[in-house]
Structure 1
């Protein structure tokens, strides 16, 4: 795999804690055992009338075993506790919830085949604007109607995925089998990215994605999106457009989201990173949710792995008939957080 071509972008082939994992064992044949951890404490009034303190922790372990000069067996398991995602709302707060659990084969230039609750290749699209500690992206928010195991399109149970890179072209394709808790009949997705190196003018990385899910009851879901990241000096600009739609058996109207998200990240110096972004969403035929969010965020690096974040999100949306998204759609909130990674 020609990894040098991907140095400008977030690695999609290991889009989880495995990216930042530290190697605690390396054999003479190149086999490794890696670990990753993240501890965070956040203070925010997001989704609440009161200021609350929230704990966030993740722990991952995995590695590779060398078969020969080309092939390795690979795997990764990453869990979280008290993290701010819907899956944890279904469990007691002191229980571990699986983020990623997968095993596979790394065939170097022949690509990587993984199976389980993998880091979806569609992350190369969501990562364009998923840059804030304080706020969540709205892309593919309806997929859980058809597959309850899905966390948007970041990860779904029972996924078989192939990924490879050819010079500056990255491709990911997956078939999603599901399991006995997902009620999923069939699903698949595809993500494509090409990075243009324009010399002194920077780098441009456009991405296109598509995913289709069908439930055992006949309910259908799809999402498609196009977007791009532009890298110039210490600045990264990102913008995406996506549409997703749910068609439920026996329901006349289809619930359709149209979403636009944009972000700018400025690496001011070795310590400070400044971010700003805008999110727009409009639903038709469903809960009629409307989002209009503007996010401002500053990050101060205490070390190369640990940071303090401060954010404020201005919200001017409408809940429609929903309970809102990441809190009330027209309720501003602040966020202060300390994140320690190892």
Structure 2
């Protein structure tokens, strides 16, 4: 089954963002404009416990304008129906509206790296993707980031980020300063991620990753925080992917905490996750994963999720997914509102299934 491994990095990345493109414009100097998109339909009992069907759509543009052979202006924008988060603190009034996931522009200096600014494709994805391998999954890593930065519904997409990324030999480097915007309530934010690829020959390939972030609230009159006493957010994580033949094993551990101005104890998440991806053939893929998250001194959310998924690639650009998640967690309680806290829009104690058809271009 050696043919399967060459497709593995591509298929894993395609779960996080559309990885194929339709060329709209291409010039001899390398300048281009590409269209990315995803269309799909999902059937699940995840949200309410009742089986329902939901339309899935995502569209975006990637552009590159060459200045010379070592320098280019680049940009990317991507919108999604019913996105998990909203950019610039503007939430869609209708769940069928398109809301922004990524909007950024930057400069590419070839071997000297690239600088991007806006709602960027964060280098923290190198870490979060270790656990984010399923077609229907919610990222638990750094879930408390939006307590301080309300635009960070997921930690790898935050408004007002200026980021530098580069690959130096086998080392991938990313670091960012988060300025925020006039509604993100940030004084400042910083993050960094490092990933090293070690080729073990016949023994496979290993990719250890380190990641960290810290954000500080501004507490201004225009604060967008749900709890203005949330003062500082800190996160660190360590993990790795191991590739051998047609299999990929992922492991990660992360902690994050929120400190408060009113004397409440820090709200701390401790999360570890394990994932396994196996290519039976280039068309049939199996995935399995386990996640264990425990919050202390906060909302007391507990996640104990075991997920199995099968994917069949109908064509090179379309797939059918089927998965089932056994959940043995406990919902928490918001310390400010007293309301129940779920995860991914559902009770973490309730199992759910997911069937999906997805076409990407």
TM range (shorter): over 0.9
Number of equivalences: 336
Question: How far is 1:254 from its partner?
Answer: 0.7
- Seen in structure 2, the aligned counterparts of structure 1 residues 130 and 197 have a Cα distance that, compared at 3 Å, is same
| Alignment partners' CA distance in 2, 1:164 and 1:101 | 20
- The residue aligned with 2:4 is none
Matched, 1:324 2:342: yes
Where does residue 201 of structure 2 map in the other structure?
A: 199
- Whether the 8 Å CA contact 2:139–2:154 is kept in 1: the answer is no
Structure 2 counterpart of 1:333: 352
Q: Distance in 1 between matches of 2:11 and 2:347?
A: 33
Query: SS where residue 146 of structure 2 aligns?
Result: helix
Contact kept? 1:41, 1:55, Cα under 8 Å = yes
Q: 2:45 matched to which residue of 1?
A: 45
1:17 CA displacement? 4.0
User: What's the TM-score once normalised by structure 1's chain length?
Assistant: 0.93
Which of 268, 287, 300 in structure 1 is aligned with 2:299? Answer: 287
Quote the offset at 1:93 in angstroms.
Answer: 1.8
Over the aligned positions, Cα root-mean-square deviation in angstroms equals 2.2
2:81: which partner in 1?
81
Q: 2: CA distance between counterparts of 1:164 and 1:12? A: 21
8 Å CA contact retained: 2:92, 2:98: no
Provide the residue aligned with 2:314 in structure 1.
302
**C-alpha contact (below 8 Å) 1:75/1:104 kept by paired residues:** yes
Residues 49, 352 of structure 2: 8 Å contact kept: no
Alignment correspondent of 1:252 = 264
Contact 1:301–1:308 under 8 Å retained in 2: yes
Secondary structure of residue in 1 paired with 2:324? strand
Structure 1 segments (4+ residues) deviating >6 Å: 10-16
- Name the counterpart of 1:271: 283
Q: 1:8 to 1:46 in 2, by over 3 A?
A: closer
Partner secondary structure for residue 67 of structure 1:
strand
Q: Secondary structure at the match of 1:286?
A: coil
* 1:101 lines up with 2:103 in the alignment: yes
Q: Map of 1:122-161 to 2, 5 A cutoff?
A: 122-161=124-163
Deviates more, 1:94-103 or 1:235-244: 94-103
Find the aligned partners of 1:152 and 1:30 in 2 and give their Cα distance.
Answer: 33
Note the C-alpha offset of 1:251.
Answer: 3.7
Please give the per-residue CA displacement for 1:106-146, whole angstroms capped at 9, x wherever unaligned: 00000000000001100000111110012212101011110
User: How has the CA–CA distance of structure 1 residues 189 and 140 changed in structure 2, closer, same or farther, with 3 Å as cutoff?
Assistant: same
Unaligned runs of at least 5 residues, structure 1: 1-6
Aligned to 1:27: 27
Unpaired stretches in structure 2, ≥5 consecutive residues: 1-6, 220-229, 334-339
Call closer, same or farther: CA 1:273–1:178 in 2, change over 3 Å: same
Against the structure 1 CA distance between its residues 11 and 154, is the aligned structure 2 distance closer, same or farther, given a 3 Å change threshold? farther
Residues 17-66 of structure 1 show CA distances to partners (whole Å, capped at 9, x for unaligned) of 46422322211211001100101110000021211111111100121001
Q: Which residue of 1 aligns with 2:94?
A: 92
Distance 1:28 1:163 in 2: 26
Question: Partners in 2 of 1:301 and 1:270 — Cα distance?
Answer: 8
Structure-2 residue corresponding to 1:4: none
Q: Distance in 1 between matches of 2:140 and 2:115?
A: 28
Displacement after TM superposition at 1:9 (Å): 5.0
Counterpart residue number, 1:110: 112
- What is the distance in 2 between the residues matched to 1:325 and 1:176? 26
- The answer (yes or no) to whether the contact 1:13–1:163 under 8 Å persists in 2 is no
Conserved? CA contact 2:214–2:234, under 8 Å: yes
